[in-house]
Amino acid sequence: MIVVVCPGQGSQTPGFLSPWLELDGVSERLAGFSEAAQVDLQEHGTVSDADTIRDTRIAQPLIVAASLIAADALTARAGRRADGVAGHSVGEIAALVESRVIDAETGMRLVGIRGRAMADAAAQTPTGMSAVLGGDEDAVLARLAELGLSPANYNGGGQLVVAGALPALAALAEEPLKGTRVIPLQVAGAFHTAYMESAVAALRDAVSTVTPSDPDLSLWTNRDGSVVPDGATALSYLVDQVSSPVRWDLCMASFADQGITGLIELAPAGALTGLAKRGLRGVPAVAVKTPEDLDAAAALLNGEAA
C-alpha cells in the first residue's frame, strides 16, 4: 500500500514553485487556482520572500496548489494514483481533492477562505506556536495545562507542537522540562486551538455550499487517524480540524496498521518524510520537492526500486 501525503503550513520556501512552472500547462492551471483562492500564486511561489509567504493568507493556498500540481504530475508520470492519501493540517484540503471528495477549484476556494479566516482569528489576540522535542508526553501535557497552553500538532517521533499566549510560550522556553527542547515557530497565531473558533465558523459557512463525493481511495483524517467513511464526514472533519489538534501521530500509526509499503510526500515536501523516518521506520519514503523527484516517486508507486 502506497500512501501519498500532503504537507501543511511551514513547508513553503521562497521560489519553490519555479521549477514546476517549467511543466506544460502548469502556468495556466496556477492562474485558475489563483483566481479561486484570490491570491497571486505565481508571484508568491516564484519571487516573494520568506516573510511574505509566511503570511497565512498566502502560505495556505500556495502549499495546497503545489501539492495538487505535484499530484497530477506524479499520476501522469506513474500511470496510476496512490492507494491512499492524507494531509497534514491545511494539506487535508489537497487530500480531499486527490481523493475526489471535492474538485480542485473548490479546494482552492476553500483554502483561500480558510487562510484568510485563520489570519483574521490570529490577529485578534497575540499568540504563537512552539515545537517541543523529546521528553515524556504526559509530563509535557501536564506542563502545558499549568501554563494555559494547548497541544496543536501531535507529530509523532517525539515532536509536539504547542500553541497559546506569547508569555506562556516564553515561560515554557525559559524553563523547559528535562529532556525537552523548545523551538519557537515563525507563526503568528495559535492554530488548531480554541483561538481559531471564528475561523471555524467562516469555513463552516463556506463548506455549507459544497456537495461532496465519497472518497474513491483511502482517506485518513487528522482528527483521530481513522479512514474517513464518506464525503460529508470528510468536510465536517475539515471544518472542526481548524480548532482541534492535528493527530499526525495517529495517522502514521494507522498507515502502519494497514500495511503501508511506501510513502510519497507531495510538494513542498520534506517535513512529513522527515517525520516518517522516525514514526514509520523502514518504510521507503520519497519527497517530491521538484519535478526531478517524480521519477523516484513513480518508481516507488509502481513497486520498482526507487
88 is catalytic: no
89 is catalytic: yes
Catalytic residue among 11, 34, 130, 192: 192
| Maximal C-alpha separation, the chain | 54
Catalytic residue among 48, 89, 99, 244: 89
* Identity of the residue numbered 78: A
Residue 135: φ, ψ to 5° = 85, 170
Cell readout for 299 is 518508481
Q: What is the crossing angle of helices 294-301 and 56-78, to 10°?
A: 60
Share in percent of the chain as helix, strand, coil (round to 5) = 50, 15, 35
Please report, to the nearest 10 degrees, the dihedral formed by the alpha carbons of residues 300, 72, 59, 249 taken in order: -40
Note whether 300 and 284 are within 8 A (CB): yes
270: helix, coil or strand?
coil
DSSP 132-152: EEES-HHHHHHHHHHHT-EEE
d(CA 129, CA 186): 8
Q: How many CA atoms lie within 13 A of 151 on its CB side?
A: 21
Residue 219: exposure state from Cβ atoms within 10 A (0-12, 13-18, ≥19): buried
User: What positions carry a catalytic annotation?
Assistant: 89, 192
